[in-house]
Amino acid sequence: MAATLHDVARVAGVSFKTVSNVINHHPHVRDTTRAKVEKAIAELGYRPNLTARSLRSGHTGAITLALPQLRLPYFAELADAVIEAAAKRGLVVLIEQTGADRKRELEVMASPRLKMSDGLIFSPLALGQEDADLIKADVPIVLLGERIFDSSSDHVTMQNVPAARAATEHLLDLGRKRIAVVGAHEGEVIGSAGLRLRGYREALEARGIPYDDGIVAYVVDWHRSNGAAAMHDLLDRGVSFDAVFGLNDTLAQGAVRVLQEAGYRVPDDVAVIGFDDLDETRYTLPTLSTVDPGRTEIAETAIRMLLERIKDPAGTPPREVETAFRVVARESTMGSAAGAA
């Protein structure tokens, strides 16, 4: 059986509260008693019972991270970054997968399990702007992503519009004129797809290039297979283009695959850029140009804001933070324009 404060106290010949004082570095403990107690702790291999400590103190030292699915590489890398950032502050991370299911996203906030942690970092995918009022729980929440703005929670997000604009400008700067889009969402205005499409349109507009819906391919989800399907769709339409903006990296990879199968050279015939800077984009053929949305900064900001909110729940009004981004040019956009699809 695990040793308790009482066991240590008995061995050391002091009261259990003195042992507690030693462990918590209470100032008024005589050196000789501290030594006695530490000897007893070592002897018994005592470890504090964190559950009891949590009950008494009201906080657990854990946070919950709720996201759609770890098998989606973007979320795996996000989770990696959040766990690292949390570890730096001595926190552990409890992961809940929602499967992008509306019901499960709501359950995460309502579940009593949430109280096994001190706060929630929540990346919803099914809930949207119309659900802003439902974002609440009995621990502080930091929202991630582009689904919901102006809720009553703190929010960390990437700069989708400017970043997508920069990605598009990167292609335009290479001399590409007809930039197809892979992965738009029908009728979406906010949300990653809507915002990135807006950035794309802004870039075109700034150069006086008319927007052409004929080279924009719509998908339902951002899964790998859909990038391929969207590119098939574009090729079937018989439209011409000399570049592709994949609204995320997996879509872009699917699109590259279909282009190559169809005999187009990337980037010679068609330049391709993605979005997210997944690790794997460094190892595809060709390597994929993309936008680094500042994942580490997102994770660290989220942790920092959550801790501030835990310490002082009603301190400041909800904050909205946008992280820095960076266009990463790789092989898929190297070299000059040649022909087109």
Partner DNA sequence: CTGCGATTTTACAACGTTGAATCGATATCT
Partner DNA sequence: AGATATCGATTCAACGTTGTAAAATCGCAG
Angle (CA) 119-122-123 rounded to 5° is: 165
Tell me which long-range contacts 32-40 makes (C-beta under 8 A, separation of at least 24): 36/12, 37/8, 37/12, 39/12, 40/8, 40/9, 40/11, 40/12
Q: Which of 224, 232, 304, 319 binds a copy of itself (CB under 8 A)?
A: 224
User: Which residues have C-beta within 8 Å of that of residue 157, sequence separation ≥ 6?
Assistant: 144, 145, 146, 149, 298, 320, 321, 322, 323
Does residue 96 interact with a copy of itself by CB under 8 A?
yes
User: Rounded to whole angstroms, how far apart are CA atoms 36 and 148?
Assistant: 56
User: Which residue number, 50 or 338, has a Cβ lying nearer to a copy of itself?
Assistant: 50
Binding positions for DNA, rule: CB under 7 A: 1-2, 4-6, 14-18, 20-21, 23-24, 26-30, 32-34, 46, 48-49, 52-53, 55-57
Q: Which of 177, 260, 304, 318 binds a copy of itself (CB under 8 A)?
A: 260
* Minimum distance, C-beta of residue 193 to a copy of itself, in the bound complex (Å): 19
Among positive and negative, which fits the CA dihedral 74, 75, 78, 79?
negative
CB under 5 to 8 A by kind: which of a copy of itself, DNA, none does 136 bind?
Answer: none
State the number of CA atoms in the 13 A half-sphere of 187 facing the CB: 1
Q: Which of 101, 221, 279, 320 binds a copy of itself (CB under 8 A)?
A: 279
* Minimum distance, C-beta of residue 45 to DNA, in the bound complex (Å): 12
Q: Which residues bind a copy of itself (CB under 8 A)?
A: 2, 47-52, 54-55, 60-62, 69-71, 73, 76-77, 79-80, 83-84, 87, 92-97, 112-113, 115-116, 138, 224-225, 227-228, 250, 253-254, 256-257, 260-261, 279-280, 282-285
